Structure 1
């Protein structure tokens, strides 16, 4: 499984509390515990929680599909995640699953619990909802992402005309799966006037091997109307947030020489795209 690609949840002072909760629900473990960043392992998948402050709130534009092997497993996760949260779609039998439910948990993370077949070895799959100005662009987005990343492909596609949903454009995507560099993602279009959209509340982190890969992904993902942000963050043309992070940055920031590591952090904080050479120069200064 590719753990160089993983989701990041924006938290407001409760990253550790959230991390402990998800590890309890899904029998996971904490793999990094710092004042700002918590990393957890759930079913062999990496998930990052970032204490960034009150600026962004998570919402169902990005949810996490948990593919369960039994109806009892669905029920077990549902009962725990719903405490302090809210139901979005009732836990019930649907045409696509004998047992399915969608909820927001107490920390604002959106979960779809699904009894059915996995499309890969991934147990938890981020699911992107294309709506408002992006409604009808799920197919285009899948093509854009799979052309950007290596080892990528588009999998099964279910359109609304095939799924029997009368209130949606029949050509829009009800559910589809695609893979970027071995990492599975689902997507869907929605014509409803939801009161939310993509924001920095949930982003995808891409760990890069060198400057060439960093430059390529950065330049490609901001093409066509995306925009640069700070510290390796960007938004693509659909408004979805990515963090393009060279592995060398993490090594330098975690260096045992705290003074040198702090110099690297100070330089990084002023960057948009991360420039490895400038980090090295700061470290060696």
Structure 2
């Protein structure tokens, strides 16, 4: 039987080369109810394996809007030919931010792009660390659901596919067939 926990049982671990602490500070500056917790450091122990200097940051525990995360400075090993070791973020994993209005969409979109992030399509972006985010208005579920004339969802999807940052008014107009 699983142990009961007073907090979440699952903590996403984000593997960085060396930027874990910088990333944790960046993310906690953006999201409300966020903080940096325990920071651990490499020691001489295991240096023949990790090749990191003693004192360098190993992990950073941090919380974003009440969700726990761990940043790991694991370095970027040079994989051998044929190896599947390549510790880079891909779009296969992303974090979705449910935004109540356009002001929130604009805020998170702008903040996460600071310092060299890259815009993508359909409300997706990559921050300067290469982590993918979906900045999504909560209204999107309704608009893509296509109730009403039965074509609203199709129109909203077509409009969304042409957007970078999502525009709630544009999605609503497409959904309602008024724009």
Please give the TM-score of this superposition, normalised by the length of structure 1: 0.55
Structure 1: state its 5+ residue gaps.
1-67, 71-117
Q: Could you give the per-residue CA deviations for residues 99-137 of structure 1, whole angstroms, max 9, x where no partner exists? A: xxxxxxxxxxxxxxxxxxx6x611111100002xxx2x1
The answer to which structure has the higher strand fraction is: 1
| 2:126 is the alignment partner of 1:261 | no
Structure 2 partner of 1:187? 71
Structure 1 partner of 2:25? 143
Q: Could you give the per-residue CA deviations for residues 207-257 of structure 1, whole angstroms, max 9, x where no partner exists? A: 111110110100110110110001011000011111111101112112423
The 1-side partners of 2:138 and 2:55 are apart by 41
**Contact persistence 1:205–1:242 (CA under 8 A):** yes
Q: CA deviation at 1:175?
A: 2.3
Single out whichever of 235-244 and 184-193 deviates more from structure 2: 184-193
**Contact persistence 2:146–2:154 (CA under 8 A):** no
Distance 1:192 1:230, change over 3 A: closer
Q: Could you give the per-residue CA deviations for residues 10-53 of structure 1, whole angstroms, max 9, x where no partner exists? A: xxxxxxxxxxxxxxxxxxxxxxxxxxxxxxxxxxxxxxxxxxxx
The correspondence for 2:45, drawn from 156, 164, 167, is 164
Q: Which runs of 4+ in 1 moved over 6 A?
A: none
Structure 2 partner of 1:275? 167
Secondary structure (helix, strand or coil) at the match of 2:139 reads: helix
The 1-side partners of 2:58 and 2:46 are apart by 8
In terms of Rg, which structure is larger?
A: 2
**Contact persistence 1:155–1:176 (CA under 8 A):** yes
The correspondence for 1:252, drawn from 109, 131, 143, is 143
Structure 2 partner of 1:20? none
**Contact persistence 1:176–1:187 (CA under 8 A):** yes
The 2-side partners of 1:254 and 1:179 are apart by 32
Structure 1 partner of 2:61? 177
Aligned pairs, number: 165
The 2-side partners of 1:228 and 1:209 are apart by 21
Q: Could you give the per-residue CA deviations for residues 139-187 of structure 1, whole angstroms, max 9, x where no partner exists? A: 11100000011110011111113x8342213333322211111111111
The 1-side partners of 2:100 and 2:55 are apart by 39
Secondary structure (helix, strand or coil) at the match of 1:272 reads: coil
Secondary structure (helix, strand or coil) at the match of 1:277 reads: helix
**Contact persistence 1:168–1:190 (CA under 8 A):** no
Q: CA deviation at 1:192?
A: 4.2
Distance 1:189 1:261, change over 3 A: same
Single out whichever of 238-247 and 251-260 deviates more from structure 2: 251-260
Please give the TM-score of this superposition, normalised by the length of structure 2: 0.85
The 2-side partners of 1:199 and 1:259 are apart by 33
